[in-house]
């Protein structure tokens, strides 16, 4: 019998930056970033606008969350994502 006052464990969520994820290979790059915080913030903006955006990197980030990070979207969403990015600058 579970103890009601203990919080349940949540399922593992997707990482904020996917490293070498083959599912994102066909996705198109909208922008590139050097730090995780900025990349994730832009990604969240696109998600709030209804796009399926993700952050991806070919190699693991350093301990400070820096590296080559790509903001990617599915092929059919690139122009809308690019329009949003240009207008949010």
Residue 14 has a pLDDT of 62
> Quick one: pLDDT band at residue 6, thresholds 50, 70, 90?
low
Handedness of CA 56, 43, 35, 86 (dihedral sign): positive
Cβ neighbourhood burial of 11 (10 Å; 0-12, 13-18, 19+): exposed
Residue 69 has pLDDT above 60, yes or no: yes
Task: Read off the pLDDT of residues 37-47 as tens digits, 9 standing for 90 and up.
Answer: 999 999 999 99
Sign of CA dihedral 82, 57, 44, 63: negative
């Amino acid at each position: 019998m579970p103890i009601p006052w203990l919080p349940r464990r949540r399922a593992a969520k997707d990482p904020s930056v996917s490293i070498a994820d083959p599912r994102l290979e066909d996705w198109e790059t909208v922008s590139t970033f050097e730090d995780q915080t900025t990349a994730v913030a832009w990604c969240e903006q696109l998600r709030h606008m209804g796009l399926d955006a993700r952050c991806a990197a070919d190699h693991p980030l350093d301990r400070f969350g820096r590296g080559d990070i790509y903001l990617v979207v599915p092929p059919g969403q690139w122009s809308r994502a690019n329009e949003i990015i240009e207008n949010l600058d």
